[in-house]
Structures are given as structure tokens and as C-alpha cells.
Amino acid sequence: MYKRVLLKLSGEALSSPGNAFDPAILKALAEELKQVRELGVDLAIVVGGGNFIRGKMAESIGIERVQGDYMGMLATVINALAVQGALEQAGVPTRVQTAIEMQKVAEPFIVRRAIRHLEKGRIVIFGAGTGNPYFSTDTTAALRASEIGADVILMAKNGVDGVYSADPKTHPEAVKLDSLSYMDLLQKGLQVMDTTATSMCMDNDVDLIVFNMNEPGNILKAVRGEVNGTIISKEGN
């Protein structure tokens, strides 16, 4: 079982058709994360903002990319506060830290303070990405996992149970891969996370587990290393 994990959630994973947030999803997520915390595992979370806006989406409607990225960062803060609210309703002490200072809303990101919170049994949610445009929340996850000394990044996917040799929606013959190396990921161009995030995980020797979060209990299984997903590591075995 892993001792310190970073969970990467997409913004879409918190939503349902027509709603930015689905209360049932938030409640179920909070209950499962509470069980993870009760195992004695240090848990940090990076959440995306795709249920509101993405930088590239903003660009497509004529908003400058940098401006769009900042809009996306603010969306991740909204999501971080929503997850915090759900966790605290479940009785789990939680802190939100943001890469852009907004002191009336959350703590500023300070790595030593984040680690101290984890050591005290609090879940820490990182918002506002890296605080810089052009960096995805995948890169944020790789960066924060490296900074806090996480053993693994749990990449919770919306309805996808791992990495496939090709897109299974368009290639029915695609095969699910149980394990592979970061170099394989880069060479084969498999779209798991962007190349900046992949390189950072490889350089800092942080493992990655890609799994389907829509199946109840899968986050717990991933923490225990028992989930039916894909493990990506430096060595690939």
C-alpha cells in the first residue's frame, strides 16, 4: 500500500450532463476519500477545471490563450472549494492551497505547510494549477507530487479503465496495457498526459496509475495497488 498519494481529478468527473457539479458524485467521492484517509494514507488532490472552461476552449471563442488559462485556473479553485465542502461535510479535515494568492478564499501554496497538513492527517487540495499559463493540471499534478514526495499519482479517468494501444472508441481492436514505461508513453504518443507532465514524472521517478474512477471503490483499490488499471513507471515493470 502506498503511504503518500496525489489524486488527479478532472473537472468533468465532478459534473453530470447540464450541471457543473453533481451532488451525488461529490458525496460518493468524499465518502471514498474519507476511507482512504482512514487507512492512514497521506492524500493530496489536484483538480482540473474542464467542467467550466479550458484555456484552449477559450481560445477557440476568441479569448487570448493566456487569459483563457487564467480563467481555467480560477475554475480549478471553484472545484477545489466544492471538493473541500463535500469532504468537510463527511467529517474530513481539509485545506485548499492555491498557486495564485487569494487569501480570503484559501491558503497560498507553501510546500512545507502542505506537507505539515498531510502529516497532521488533513487532505490537501491544490488549486489554480501551477499559477502559470500554458501549463496543464496534469503538469500541476506531476509538479506537486514531486514537491510533496508522493509515491504515486492516481490519474482518475472518467469512464476509462487504463491506457490502450489506441483509442478504443475508434479502434475496437485496441489492447489494454497493464504496465508501461514513461519512455514508451512518449515514443508511442499515447495521450495519457501531456509531454511536460510525463517528462517530470520520469525525471522525478513518480509512478502513475491510470484507472476508472466511475467504479465505486476504485480509488481505495488504487491506493492499495490492487486496481484494474495501467501502471506507468520509469522502468515500466
pLDDT of residue 188: 85
103 lies in some domain: yes
pLDDT of residue 109: 98
pLDDT of residue 166: 84
Per the structure block, which three cell numbers stand in for 133?
499559463
89 lies in some domain: yes
Domain around 88: 4-231
142 lies in some domain: yes
pLDDT of residue 235: 86
Question: Helix, strand, coil % (nearest 5) of the chain?
Answer: 40, 20, 40
65 lies in some domain: yes
Inter-CA distances, 124 with 55, 67, 101, 109, Å: 25, 27, 16, 10
We report the CATH number of the domain holding residue 51 as 3.40.1160.10
163 lies in some domain: yes
pLDDT of residue 127: 98
237 lies in some domain: no
The rounded radius of gyration (Å) of the Cα atoms in the chain is 17
What's the total number of domains in the chain?
A: 1
236 lies in some domain: no
pLDDT of residue 230: 95
Residue type, 90: A
To which residue does cell 465532478 refer? 14
Residue stretches of the chain with pLDDT short of 50: none
pLDDT of residue 101: 97
Strands 152-157 vs 230-233: parallel, antiparallel or unpaired: unpaired
